[in-house]
Amino acid sequence: MGMNSTEDKIKEIAREFSKATEPVIKEAKKAAEPFIRDVKEVTKPYTKKAEPYIKDIKEKTEPYLKDIKDKAEPVYSEVKTKAEPYIKDIKEKAGAKAAKFTCKEEVFVQYSHHEIKTSDIIERAKKDYISKGNKATSIKEIQVYIKPSDNAAYYVVNHTDTGKVEF
């Protein structure tokens, strides 16, 4: 019994560790993508020569990988089943809290007998960026600086591309 309890605790810690490190691993993978592409390009001739060996290794390790997956599946299913009520409860509570704090928000800039909604300025900045040949899906981040004295708003997309839209 003591052995099983310790083993269960170790499995639980391993799962928690995996879950906690997931965002860091994703970020590291994203940061490494350009380097990986460069390495793949440089090593292409060598990987072609290694393909038969890699294929042989894959064939020899496939039964072991299948065995590991088969053994991990019940643990995964058990954790998922046990966690479902808690996840449902958390989602319900989060949804209720989000509903309490949801309201319609509008921000206007008024100056010299003019009035403009900030959401309209942002949309115009996005349209201007797209009209310059960029894709809407490439906009990950946009900052808009409103300058009433210039009758314009200046924007920066993804910390690199800039532009100006008139009111």
Position 73 scores a pLDDT of: 84
Count CA atoms within 13 Å of residue 102 on its CB side. 6
Annotate 33-98 with DSSP letters as a single string. Answer: HHHHHHHHHHHHHHHHHHHHHHHHHHHHHHHHHHHHHHHHHHHHHHHHHHHHHHHHHHHHHHHHHH
Q: What is the pTM of this model?
A: 0.40
Position 158 scores a pLDDT of: 93
Q: How far apart are alpha carbons 30 and 141 in whole angstroms? A: 17
Write phi, then psi, for 142 (nearest 5 degrees).
Answer: -140, 135
**CA distances in angstroms from 141 to 32, 82, 129, 166, listed in the order given:** 21, 38, 12, 20
Position 62 scores a pLDDT of: 87
Q: How far apart are alpha carbons 121 and 118 in whole angstroms? A: 5
Averaged pLDDT in 10-residue chunks for the chain of 167 residues: 66 80 81 82 82 86 84 82 81 68 81 87 94 91 91 92 91
